[in-house]
Amino acid sequence: MVFRLFDAPLREPSQFVGFSGNHIDRQSENRADDCVETALTDRSARLLLICGGKLLLKPRDEAFDGWFGVGESEAHGARLSEAILLGVSESGPVLAAPSGLEPDHLPDTVKAFDYRSVYTQGLVDEAAVGALAQAASLLAWNVSHRFCSKCGAESAMRAGGYRRRCPACGTEHFPRTDPVAIMLTVTRERCLLGRSPHFAPGMYSALAGFIEPGETIEDAVRRETLEEAGIRLGRVVYHASQPWPFPYSLMIGCFGEPINEDIQADLNELEDCRWFLRDEVRSMLERTHSDGLITPPKGAIAHHLIRAWVDSEPAD
């Protein structure tokens, strides 16, 4: 095997997916127990505010601004005692906090958008969308892990939200990231796409499933493809990953090479699953398919897997 060091990480496919533009210096080695309190005393501190699973945005002319100062956050009902520290940017500390406001009863100064709309509609810049992924995942983990899973006592946030400590039994709990394999099975001519019942009308996408304990990424890709489509895969190749704050996943995108091509779809999981020719998939990407079939939106990692295959040179 030849191992080469590349000096151009800017071309990594992961950098083109939604939620991947986070530029915050996390300073993970410097998270003191009082780092949130210290950061909130900094006049340059900025916060993202999460409100009932949505991001609060301030309308600014034609665009939106997702960053709130500390005083401004309090004025919008932020629960600063539950704030987390994302890290430091060029302009100062960056935090996130739950807003105490109800999404249905917001003042005229703000609007609440679900995370998907924020990234698919490009409501804020890519760096802010990346910060949103970090903020939403970490806040969600803290909310859903308030009690010690060992003894049941209420735990306390530490290290800016990156740790919770149980005062009763001393156990320390750390944030989880759930890996999901998402895979595009491809041949020279065709790729395999499926349709879940909850998809938007006409949408087909790559297959996906959670990676299980004790399983490699490649084995998970092969197992899920066999379970959902009846297709056995040989070689599996990693392509890109995507932070996915629903609530705290990491999508791991791969290509797989099929050994058989006769589909046996799991109709409990999928409404339809079939092979698509390259030109048909290109028309789905470009929204010109004669039957209105489409691929997932541009920020989705499935879109990038499909686009990378469509644009690739067919191997001889």
Q: H or E stretch including 88?
A: strand 84-89
CA dist., res. 244 & res. 250, Å (int): 5
Query: Binding pattern to Zn ion, positions 147-166, x when CB under 5 A?
Result: -x-xx-x------------x
The interaxial angle of helices 301-311 and 278-285, nearest 10 deg, is: 130
CB under 5 A: which stretch of 41-49, 110-118, 167-175, 256-264 binds Zn ion?
167-175
Query: How many residues of this chain interact with Zn ion, rule: CB under 5 A?
Result: 8
CB of 145 vs Zn ion, minimal distance in Å: 12
Choose the binding region for Zn ion from 78-86, 146-154, 199-207, 246-254 (rule: CB under 5 A).
146-154
The dihedral built from the CA positions of residue 67, 69, 72 and 73, taken in this order, carries a sign that is positive
CB 272 within 8 A of CB 183: no
Name the residue among 76, 114, 73, 110 with its Cα closest to residue 94. Answer: 73
> Residue 148 Cβ, how far from Zn ion at the closest point, in Å?
3
**CA nearest to 243, candidates 235, 251, 253:** 251
Task: Return the DSSP state at 313.
Answer: P
Q: Kindly tell me which of 169 and 259 has the beta carbon lying closer to Zn ion.
A: 169
The minimum distance between CB 154 and Zn ion, in angstroms, equals 9
For Zn ion, which is the closer residue by CB, 174 or 210?
174
Q: Is 243 helix (H, G, I), strand (E, B) or coil?
A: strand
Minimum gap (Å) between residue 156 Cβ and Zn ion: 11
CB 50 within 8 A of CB 136: yes
Q: Which is nearer to Zn ion, 79 or 150 (CB)?
A: 150
Tokens linked to 248: 């705290």
Q: 143 or 153: whose CB is closer to Zn ion?
A: 153
Question: Which DSSP helix (H) or strand (E) runs through 181?
Answer: strand 178-186
Beta bridge partners of 114: 54
> What is the x/- site pattern for Zn ion, positions 100-139, by CB under 5 A?
----------------------------------------
DSSP 160-172: GGTEEE-TTT--E
Spell out the residues 6+ positions from residue 54 whose beta carbon is closer than 8 angstroms to its own.
103, 112, 113, 114, 115
The residue (of 118 and 148) whose beta carbon lies closer to Zn ion is 148
Q: Which is nearer to Zn ion, 32 or 153 (CB)?
A: 153
Q: Does 169 bind Zn ion (CB under 5 A)?
A: yes
- For the bound state, the minimum distance from the C-beta of residue 173 to Zn ion, rounded and expressed in Å, comes to 9
Rounded Cα distance, 132 and 248, in Å: 12
Q: Which is nearer to Zn ion, 27 or 171 (CB)?
A: 171
Q: Please report how close the Cβ of residue 2 comes to Zn ion at its closest, in angstroms.
A: 50
Minimum Å gap between C-beta 140 and Zn ion is: 21
Q: What is the DSSP letter of 13?
A: G
The neighbouring-strand residues paired with 237 are: 255
Distance of closest approach, residue 35 Cβ to Zn ion, in angstroms? 23
150/235 with CB nearer Zn ion: 150
Contact positions vs Zn ion (CB under 5 A): 148, 150-151, 153, 166, 168-169, 171
